[in-house]
Amino acid sequence: MIFKTPLMLALFSAMTMLVACSAKDKDKEPQKVTTKNNPSYQTPKLRAPSLKNPDVNLPSSGSGALGVTYSRVRTNLPYIAMTYDDGPHPQNTPRLLDMLRERNIKATFYVIGRSVNLYPQITRRIVAEGHEIGNHTWTHPNLKKLSNAAVRSELNRTRDIIVSTCGVKPRTMRPPYGALRQDQRAWIYKEYGYPTILWSVDPEDWKRPGISVVTSRIVNNTRNGGIVLAHDLHKSTIDAMPGTLDGLLRKGFKFVTVSQLLALSPPTAAPAP
């Protein structure tokens, strides 16, 4: 082709550059991966964690030989109990249950009665997957400030909704904020058979200190017979769980429910009336 004018030469050069750029940009576009048998191929699911909790066949304790209060259990065996408060939560608790199932870990959930009422299907899943349910009151009040009648109402309503939802009775209770007088603990134990369960490790996850901080505080401070406090109410806590659970497994700990952990405790004399 012969270009008779400078204008025609310039137009041809511009068209050539436009075609070249279009071809180059097309190469940058993400290509849809296809296979012969699956034209709409999707990224496969990540592998489950390589570390798993072994099957633990410890019995669950009854209420007859238990103490009134526990923050840990004295044992030389590497058993610990993970506990999660203030759920169930519609997004966080299912995510946590997936993580626990992948690692064959059984935990104890101290549920709030009104949340059980809102999310019964999640509560049923907790029990169906082998976890333990504990009584954490109906509205999460400071029980020290309530009358005995008001405390009974909180515990009774929560117990009843748990039973009607998933057919099991809670064996232990945890007071919100850990706030419960000794005389309250004694009559609750006598009336309900509930030991008051506190904790030996508190990462203060409710302050949202960050994923790595929650993991570090739990992994570095957990000892044999420990009861670890966490909250499935907070997304950041659940984000910290994969590293936390795997870190504990790497240290050789075995996870059990609170009732199984209490079964390792030496028998305790019944409290005086």
| Residues noted as catalytic | 85, 231
71 Cβ contact partners less than 8 Å away, ≥ 6 residues apart: 197, 198, 199, 200, 227
DSSP 146-201: S-HHHHHHHHHHHHHHHHHHHS-----B--GGG---HHHHHHHHHHH-PPEE--SB
Q: Residue 230 corresponds to which amino acid?
A: A
Look-up: residue for tokens 């009854």?
Answer: 62
Q: Residue 264 corresponds to which amino acid?
A: L
Distances (CA, A) of 188 to 102, 144, 156, 178, 183: 36, 13, 11, 14, 9
Look-up: residue for tokens 């550059």?
Answer: 17
